[in-house]
Amino acid sequence: GAGVSQSPSNKVTEKGKDVELRCDPISGHTALYWYRQSLGQGLEFLIYFQGNSAPDKSGLPSDRFSAERTGGSVSTLTIQRTQQEDSAVYLCASSPQLAGGTDTQYFGPGTRLTVL
Amino acid sequence: AQSVTQPDIHITVSEGASLELRCNYSYGATPYLFWYVQSPGQGLQLLLKYFSGDTLVQGIKGFEAEFKRSQSSFNLRKPSVHWSDAAEYFCAVGARGGYNKLIFGAGTRLAVHP
Tally of CA atoms within 13 A in the half-sphere of B40 that contains its CB:
4
- Whether residue A1 has pLDDT greater than 60: no
On the CB side of A110, how many CA atoms lie within 13 Å of its CA? Answer: 21
Per-residue confidence (pLDDT) for residue B38, from 0 to 100: 94
Contact B100 A105 (CB under 8 A): yes
Calculate what percentage of chain B has a pLDDT beyond 70: 96
Q: Residue A35 gets which letter from DSSP?
A: E
Residue B97: pLDDT band (50, 70, 90) is low
Question: What is the pLDDT at residue B1?
Answer: 75
Whether residue B42 has pLDDT greater than 90:
no
Render pLDDT for A50-88 as a digit per residue (tens, 0 to 9): 999 998 999 999 999 999 999 989 999 999 999 999 999
CB of B53 within 8 Å of a chain A CB? The answer is: no
Write out chain A residues lying below 8 Å of B9, CB-based. none
DSSP string, A38-94: ETTTEEEEEEEEETTEEEE-TT--STTEEEEE-TTS-EEEEE-S--GGG-EEEEEEE
* Mean per-residue pLDDT, B5-17: 96
Q: Are A97 and A51 in contact (CB under 8 A)?
A: no
Q: Minimum mean pLDDT among A12-26, A40-54, B85-99: which range?
A: B85-99
Position B98 confidence tier, pLDDT thresholds 50, 70, 90:
low
Highest mean pLDDT among A51-55, A73-77, B31-35, B69-73: A73-77
Segment B6-22 shows an average pLDDT of 97
Query: A64 CA to chain B: closest CA distance, Å?
Result: 22
Q: How far is CA A69 from the centre of its chain?
A: 10
| CA nearest to A85, candidates A64, A110, A106 | A64
Residue A100 confidence (pLDDT) = 61
Q: What angle do CA B96, B97, B99 make, to 5 degrees?
A: 100
Cα A93 to Cα B12, B21, B28, distances in angstroms = 30, 24, 25
Cross-chain Cβ contact B45/A107 below 8 Å: yes
| Chain A contact present for B2, CB below 8 A | no
A103 in contact with B, Cβ within 8 Å: yes
Judge whether A25 is closer than 8 Å to chain B, CB to CB.
no
The whole-chain average pLDDT of chain A stands at: 92
Angstroms from A80 CA to nearest CA on chain B: 24
